[in-house]
Structure 1
Amino acid sequence: MRARGELERHVARYARNRDLLLRRLPELGITRFAPPDGAFYAYVDVSHLTDDSRTWCFDVLDRTGVAIAPGIDFDLVEGHRFARLSFCGSTSDLDEAIDRLRAVTR
């Protein structure tokens, strides 16, 4: 397979980014989340910040420029308490996004 090297680099970056996000989530006051074992996003409990994840995610985007998916898009019953954070981008972009999120989660 000719693209194997590129594939392995993506997998390694996802692993680094996952570890970075999990290590830094407590800085955002986020300590409850589903283990991101099979994807490149974390589904996190933001109920300490909001009871309306859709409105909160739009506010986060307006205030920080960081796009987060509201949990209600994935779970109509409990999703209002959750958000989905992707870690598939570059490691430096993820690190900067977490820095920006600190301003709206503390």
Structure 2
Amino acid sequence: MLQMMLTFLTLDGKGGTVGGGYINNSVNVGSIYLDAEEQWVLSNEDIVEDDDVDLESVVMHQIGHLLGLKHSFVKEAIMYPIVLQEKKIELVNVDDLQRIRKIYGVNT
């Protein structure tokens, strides 16, 4: 079982890199770090400023990296590399699903 830690750190200040992560497979530990300087919000309704960042969308994106996914060119995908302040990602996109199935297979 993978243990995961979520940490807020000062990275590069507001408006830069919002987060990252790494996994140590030898001890089954993963870590997601988020920039403490960002203006984090918890739902789409809370996004009122151009620099507000949806916490759930960024954490889902970082979990995707921990699972082995790379960035996607599909703007609606969780793994799109740019945080889009104007929308919250609510569902796993077909692109994300197809790529995770390519890594882990399909449970039939």
Do both share a fold (TM > 0.5)? no
Richer in helix (by share): 1
Which of the pair has the greater relative contact order for Cα pairs under 8 Å at 6+ separation? Answer: 1
TM-score of the aligned structures, taking structure 2 as reference length:
0.28
Richer in strand (by share): 2
TM-score of the aligned structures, taking structure 1 as reference length:
0.28
